[in-house]
Amino acid sequence: MLVYVDLKRTIILLETAVKTNAKEKIPRVLRTTSKLRKTLSVAQLQQAVEQLLPAQNVSKPVLLELLAHIEEKALHAVEVESADISKGHDVEMVDVSPEVETGTAVHMPVVLLPVLDLIEVEIYLFLYVLAALMKYNMDQMALNTVDMVVARCQQFNCRTLDLIQAKVFTYYSNIHERFGQDLPGIRNTLLCAHRTSCLRYDEAGQATLINLLLRNYLKDNLYEQAYKFVSKTTFPETVSNNQFVRYLYYVGRIQAVQLEYTESYTKLMQSIRKAPANTAHGFKCTVYKLAIIVQLLMGEVPERDVFNQDELRKALAPYLQLTNAVRVGNLEEFNVVLSQHGAAFKADNTYTLIIRTSYSRILFTDICQKLALENAQNAEFVCSKAIRDGVIDAVIDHENGWLQLKETVNVYTTKDPQTAFQRRINFCLDVHNEAVKAMRYPPDAYKKDLESAEERLEREKQEEELAKEIEDEMDEGL
């Protein structure tokens, strides 16, 4: 019962924020959603829909119908789990419910809400329903419902709906990625929504949709399109830290594929530092895997402390073996690690970057052995031709008998430091400007400095009397 009371208190806070146009309270409402979603039962959610939505709300029967399906699925799952426990078998997390009919699509008429109704409360309740549909793997119903909710949100242009709508688009992308497997099909919808959020100055929507689009591109390995999209868009700087951390990771991954290793490593390290300290271990593990490979591609060896973290030690074990092989320079051991953990590297989307790994210095005898040449002199001729053709940027050391790749240009001889300082200055100026814009002033405060009509008449009368006195004094003096 306490959970239901918390839900009612959250919705009352949402209604207050909407009525007073206090948009800064909406994030507080969404922060409680994840906690309530884990403890709220289907019966309590049904009770909330019946009590908190008016009878004339067009979504109320739709929500109740969906919750009835979810309740049936939840009861069936509990029965199966109890039967498995009674038999003494381990319970497996599988979908054992009957298939949802693909024809049960939910259609909603395009009707605007009455004056006493709030679209924010309606969509907020839909968030719980979408989470329950994903939890019980009700794939077709989840796809139909999320499409309907997105269409519903697009009928309104409310600033108090922006954050909740951004959450809806997150569910839209996740559900289609998980159940629909049609990422190109939703890309146009996400692009249109991003354009709309830019026109409405909806920064939360812009940040969320940019990350969803980048994830969409990267899932289909469209790195060139993602690179162009990043170059043509500007990520809002006043959004939540979680969205900014995701953006840094996606940009770092794109730059790694585009051979911009230094910029990529900077973005990835910044993403790790800004990530939550006590949570998001899976996210940090993913970022660390990519950062390790990028650091190896830069010719550096990651520190041992990276691999000794308790929550990451097991996941980073293959990357530790890879790092040891690269550090020693043993090509045979490198190939063994690649063959043993190739499936894991492909699952982490780092395999193509790993095969780029090379050495800054290599002996001609090693080149001769690898390319099956007759002697080291032939290997030297092959390397000189590659340098002349521009395939590699290196120099030949005849005395020591090796090929030395050229070092990276000193960054302080370029304009990069100036650009970095200018970027920091612009950031500080933007923070100041946003702080000034965010200051809240009492209504009609400027009118206190303006005089009323009576005060103006009184002032003019006093000025006329003073002018007359001055004129009389001048006449007496003459």
User: Residues 109-158: pLDDT tens digits?
Assistant: 433 343 346 888 888 888 888 888 888 888 788 888 888 888 888 888 88
445 or 120, greater pLDDT: 120
293 or 180, greater pLDDT: 293
User: At 370, is the pLDDT very low, low, confident or very high (cuts 50, 70, 90)?
Assistant: confident
Encoded tokens for 336: 């063994």
Half-sphere exposure of 28 (CA within 13 A, CB side): 14
pLDDT at 428: 93
pLDDT at 425: 94
3-class secondary-structure state, position 174: helix
DSSP 402: E
Instruction: Please compute the mean of the pLDDT values over residues 312-322 and round it to a whole number.
Output: 87
pLDDT at 412: 74
Closest listed residue to residue 95, CA positions, set 148, 141, 40: 141
Nearest-angstrom CA–CA distance, 270 and 450: 50
User: At 92, is the pLDDT very low, low, confident or very high (cuts 50, 70, 90)?
Assistant: very low
Instruction: Please compute the mean of the pLDDT values over residues 418-424 and round it to a whole number.
Output: 90
- pLDDT of 103 higher than 60: no
Number of CB atoms found within 10 A of residue 122's CB: 24
Encoded tokens for 476: 């007496």
pLDDT at 369: 77
Distances from the Cα of 304 to the Cα of 14, 209, 243, 282, 307, angstroms = 48, 37, 29, 20, 6
Half-sphere exposure of 255 (CA within 13 A, CB side): 21
Cα angle vertex 17, ends 12, 20, to 5°? 120
State how far Cα 308 lies from the chain centre. 28
Nearest-angstrom CA–CA distance, 95 and 97: 6
Largest CA distance in the chain: 124
Cα angle vertex 23, ends 18, 28, to 5°? 95
442 or 299, greater pLDDT: 299
Instruction: Please compute the mean of the pLDDT values over residues 300-309 and round it to a whole number.
Output: 84
Which residue intervals of 220-260 are DSSP H helices? 223-232, 241-257
Range of weakest confidence among 193-197, 326-330, 405-409: 405-409
pLDDT at 429: 93
Q: At 294, which amino acid appears?
A: V
Q: Is 55 exposed, middle or buried (0-12, 13-18, 19+ CB in 10 A)?
A: exposed
User: At 174, is the pLDDT very low, low, confident or very high (cuts 50, 70, 90)?
Assistant: confident
Answer yes or no: pTM beyond 0.85: no
Q: Which residues pair with 402 in a beta bridge?
A: 363, 397
Q: Where is mean pLDDT largest: 23-27, 51-55, 116-120, 216-220?
A: 216-220
pLDDT at 105: 43
Encoded tokens for 114: 């009455």
Nearest-angstrom CA–CA distance, 263 and 402: 30
Residue entry with tokens 């990350």: 211
pLDDT at 111: 39
Range of weakest confidence among 331-335, 391-395, 412-416, 440-444: 440-444
Nearest-angstrom CA–CA distance, 15 and 18: 5
Instruction: Please compute the mean of the pLDDT values over residues 419-431 and round it to a whole number.
Output: 91
User: At 108, is the pLDDT very low, low, confident or very high (cuts 50, 70, 90)?
Assistant: very low
> Domain boundaries in the chain?
1-179, 361-405
- For 242-254, write each residue's pLDDT tens digit: 888 899 999 999 9
pLDDT at 100: 34
Nearest-angstrom CA–CA distance, 271 and 250: 10
Residues 6+ apart with CB under 8 A from 399: none
Instruction: Please compute the mean of the pLDDT values over residues 44-72 and round it to a whole number.
Output: 80
Closest listed residue to residue 322, CA positions, set 293, 286, 287: 293
Encoded tokens for 97: 């419910």
